[in-house]
Structure 1
Amino acid sequence: MAGWRSARAILIWVALALAIGVPTALAATSEQLAWRDPVYIVAGFAGIVALGLLLVQPLLIGGYLAPLSVYRGRRAHHWIGGALVLAVMIHVAGLWITSPPDMIDALTYSSPTPFSPFGVTAMWAIFIVAVLAPLRRRFELRPRTWRFIHMPLAIIIVVGSVVHCLLIEGTMETFSKAVLCAAVLAAAAKAMMDLQVWRKRRTLRGEGP
């Protein structure tokens, strides 16, 4: 049993590295980079990094990345959340520098590009979580209350980011991008279902939230 758990942990880490590393590496070899300025390239790869972090987040909070303990996984979840906010800010700032009119259209939901509203909506949801998370202890939010707030926002973030990415025809290779997006959706769905089951079991046992 211990051997199977060790092998499973290794497989998860390898799959995670491939899911993020392969599309990033293929994007770095894209011919489209030759016609892009450095700021635009940095902004684009910040978006790829953000998508990769979205895959890591549910794996951490769900406790799937052994040998990290559940406690350490949740602590890392907080830090990765901060890195996600930073990556999104770099992504948006770089695109703003390269084309302010396009970014104004995107932020005001008047852009003709179909992927813009999904990305902007996911961005605002990320910022809302980033603002609310530090206030959780200050206002003594119960775990159940925090889940009630955080879960819908997490769904918006994941779905919005995935649709945003899939609709963009850019430097990312199509198949590897689709695999990464599918992994993000699967990991998020798995973590949410497991956490929901865990909550129900505690309630049935009379342990409270």
Structure 2
Amino acid sequence: MRLRAILIWIALAGIVLVPLVAAAQSPLLQWRQPVYIAAGFAGIVALILLLLQPLLAGGYLPGLAAPRGRVLHRWTGVLLVFVVIVHVAGLWITSPPDVVDALLFRSPTPFSVWGVLAMWAVFLSALLALFRRKLRVRPRTWRLAHTAFALVIVAGTVIHALLIEGTMETTSKVALCALAIVAFLKVVADLKLFPLRLKRSA
């Protein structure tokens, strides 16, 4: 069991580090401002966090079973909000008109729309989690809303990333996106976040 745990952590470390190292070696970075580079890597970190989030929520990582994994899931959510802000703020500093066009959904680049949708879903999900007790949201409603936001976040971020031809190396980017989707679908299925009540109500 200990060997299995070690192998899982080694595999996860590789999955996390390979896209970062590959992006760091991109020739496109030679002509970019430091702020733009920081914004780009914040986006890569956000994509990595989308893989870690369901793994923590589902207790799949050795030594981080529930409830410890879910506590880290919440803190990882806070980190996700932070890196999204860094990503958008960095792009704003380097090119305010492009960010304004993206936020107003008038950008000619399709990837901007998906990125903005994912961004707002991240913020709304964080606000819902922050004010959950004050709003007295029922557990069932909370699960459905949180999962729905997560679906928009994962789908929007993956499409956003795949449509961009930037510093991320293609193979590692596609693999990371695929793993994020698989992890999300697995935790939804295992935790029954969308129970069969949808079938009963149909």
* Cα shift readout 1:32-55 (whole Å, capped 9, x = no counterpart): 000000000000000001111111
Asked if structure 2 preserves the Cα contact closer than 8 Å seen for 1:58 and 1:187, the reply is yes
Asked if structure 2 preserves the Cα contact closer than 8 Å seen for 1:47 and 1:87, the reply is yes
Counterpart mapping for 1:165-176 below 5 A: 165-176=161-172
Counterpart mapping for 1:65-76 below 5 A: 65-76=61-72
Asked if structure 2 preserves the Cα contact closer than 8 Å seen for 1:19 and 1:183, the reply is no
> Which deviates more, 63-72 or 39-48?
63-72
Residues 12 and 137 of structure 1: is their aligned pair in 2 closer, same or farther, counting only changes over 3 Å?
Answer: farther
Give the secondary structure class of the aligned counterpart of 2:192.
Answer: helix
Structure 1: gaps (5+ residues):
201-209
Q: How many equivalent pairs are there?
A: 196
User: Residue 29 of structure 1: which of 12, 25, 32 is its match?
Assistant: 25
Residue equivalent to 2:191: 195
User: Residue 42 of structure 1: which of 27, 31, 38 is its match?
Assistant: 38
Asked if structure 2 preserves the Cα contact closer than 8 Å seen for 1:44 and 1:91, the reply is yes
> Which deviates more, 6-15 or 133-142?
6-15
Residue equivalent to 2:147: 151
Residue equivalent to 2:200: none
Give the secondary structure class of the aligned counterpart of 1:70.
Answer: coil
CA deviation after TM superposition for structure 1 residue 140, in Å:
3.1
Whether 1:161 aligns to 2:161 is no
Asked if structure 1 preserves the Cα contact closer than 8 Å seen for 2:122 and 2:153, the reply is yes
Asked if structure 1 preserves the Cα contact closer than 8 Å seen for 2:144 and 2:193, the reply is no
Distance 1:15 1:65 in 2: 11
Amino acid at match of 1:170: G
Residues 172 and 133 of structure 1: is their aligned pair in 2 closer, same or farther, counting only changes over 3 Å?
Answer: same
Whether 1:142 aligns to 2:161 is no
Moved over 6 A (4+): 197-200
Amino acid at match of 1:82: V
Counterpart mapping for 1:110-121 below 5 A: 110-121=106-117
Whether 1:11 aligns to 2:7 is yes
Residue equivalent to 1:206: none
Residue equivalent to 1:126: 122
Distance 2:112 2:134 in 1: 34
TM-score, L = length of structure 1: 0.90
